[in-house]
Amino acid sequence: MQNTLQWYPGHMAKTRRLIEDNLKMIDVVVEILDARVPYSGRNPNFDDILKNKPRLLVMNKADLADKDRTNQWIEWYRARGIKVIPISCTTGQGINKVLSEARELVRERIERDAQKGRTRTLKLMMAGIPNVGKSSLINRLTGRAGTKTGDRPGVTKGKQWMRIKGDAELLDTPGILPPKFEDQRLAEKLAFTGAIKDEIINTELLSYSLCEYLRDNYREELCARYKIKDDISALQGYEILELIGRRRGFVISGGEVDMERAANMVLDELRGCKIGNITLETPAEIEDL
């Protein structure tokens, strides 16, 4: 990407404090990530922020992701001693596992309390980068639209507790990104999914890069979606985007393609799963970084 991305350090720092201040009363942190970016979608600062608090990793939006790759990632994490469960707040897949897996992580404590005649209300904190579905998961678990959700980052502003009858309490938190990315390629993957506000991104450059990723990883899907018959294997991102724009009739005066419009359309269609079930990174790719 053209320059280093900047994102509201003030707001993010405030959320970090909110998480740290509430951590004491939490039993388990549910770290939610977007199944389309199972690696870049984790905030590396969480290890530092969450310390040794039991953590359940949840890959949400599994309905949008590439199933083979989701399984590869589950294996990859498993090999590193981390359990991840794939879920979808849209289809309901895996939702009923969230509480039981979280409980499993603190089973000994629950049993100890039970011996003393106390029932423990499980206190969970939802944490993750922006737009991954933290609030949606709370709404799914409570069965009502008690927290605001939206298809853009930064919807949740402050903390909010929600209770599941007699059973558990859930704390929603705003999404936070690390203050900076060591590798801009990781930031770019996040931007593809919409976790970073488009206002601070050059969407045209981002889209070129996306076209190249799709060219190398999901060529069939890309060509089918935009009815491209040409061999695009040797084309650059901007040439592919130009082809797509022309296909869609995004032509301005002088016969040129409106690249900005084409760029926004391709990003929208990726995020809306119109191009196909796409996961934007594989374990092998990450190990090569």
Ligand X SMILES: Nc1nc2c(ncn2[C@@H]2O[C@H](COP(=O)(O)OP(=O)(O)OP(=O)(O)O)[C@@H](O)[C@H]2O)c(=O)[nH]1
Instruction: Tell me which residues touch ligand X (CB under 6 A).
Output: 60-61, 63-64, 88-90, 128, 130-136, 149-151, 153-156, 174-175
237 binds, among ligand X, Mg ion, none (CB under 5 to 8 A by kind): none
Least distance from ligand X to the Cβ atom of residue 186, Å: 18
Which pair of tokens denotes residue 245? Answer: 């724009």
Instruction: Using the minimum distance from each CB to Mg ion, give the nearer residue, 156 or 193.
Output: 156
Q: Assess 173 for contact with Mg ion (CB under 5 A).
A: no
DSSP letter, residue 68: H
Least distance from ligand X to the Cβ atom of residue 181, Å: 18
239 binds, among Mg ion, ligand X, none (CB under 5 to 8 A by kind): none
Is the separation of the CB atoms in 207 and 241 below 8 Å? Answer: yes
Interactions with Mg ion, residue window 137-156 (CB under 5 A) = 155-156
9 binds, among ligand X, Mg ion, none (CB under 5 to 8 A by kind): none
DSSP letter, residue 31: E
Q: Assess 131 for contact with Mg ion (CB under 5 A).
A: no
Instruction: Using the minimum distance from each CB to Mg ion, give the nearer residue, 42 or 134.
Output: 134
Is the separation of the CB atoms in 70 and 62 below 8 Å? Answer: yes
Selected range binding Mg ion among 46-54, 127-135, 161-169, 279-287, rule: CB under 5 A:
127-135
Instruction: Using the minimum distance from each CB to ligand X, give the nearer residue, 153 or 237.
Output: 153
Residue number with the smallest Cβ distance to ligand X: 175
Beta strands at 168-172 and 160-164: parallel, antiparallel or unpaired: antiparallel
154 binds, among Mg ion, ligand X, none (CB under 5 to 8 A by kind): ligand X
User: Residue 31, Cβ neighbours under 10 Å: how many?
Assistant: 23
Give the whole-angstrom CA distance, residue 42 versus residue 64.
Answer: 18
Instruction: Using the minimum distance from each CB to ligand X, give the nearer residue, 87 or 241.
Output: 87
Give the whole-angstrom CA distance, residue 64 versus residue 60.
Answer: 9
Spell out the residues 6+ positions from residue 131 whose beta carbon is closer than 8 angstroms to its own: 34, 151, 152, 153, 154, 155, 175, 193, 194, 195
The candidate with the shortest Cα–Cα distance to 65, out of 152, 156, 158, 132, is: 132
89 binds, among ligand X, Mg ion, none (CB under 5 to 8 A by kind): ligand X
Least distance from ligand X to the Cβ atom of residue 111, Å: 32
133 binds, among Mg ion, ligand X, none (CB under 5 to 8 A by kind): ligand X
Give the whole-angstrom CA distance, residue 127 versus residue 223.
Answer: 37
Least distance from ligand X to the Cβ atom of residue 107, Å: 27
**Helix 95-105, helix 134-142: angle, nearest 10:** 90
Q: Assess 135 for contact with Mg ion (CB under 5 A).
A: yes
The candidate with the shortest Cα–Cα distance to 192, out of 36, 14, 17, 13, is: 36
Least distance from ligand X to the Cβ atom of residue 163, Å: 18
Least distance from ligand X to the Cβ atom of residue 152, Å: 7
Alpha carbon 13 to chain centroid, angstroms: 20
By CB under 5 A, name the binding residues for Mg ion: 134-135, 155-156
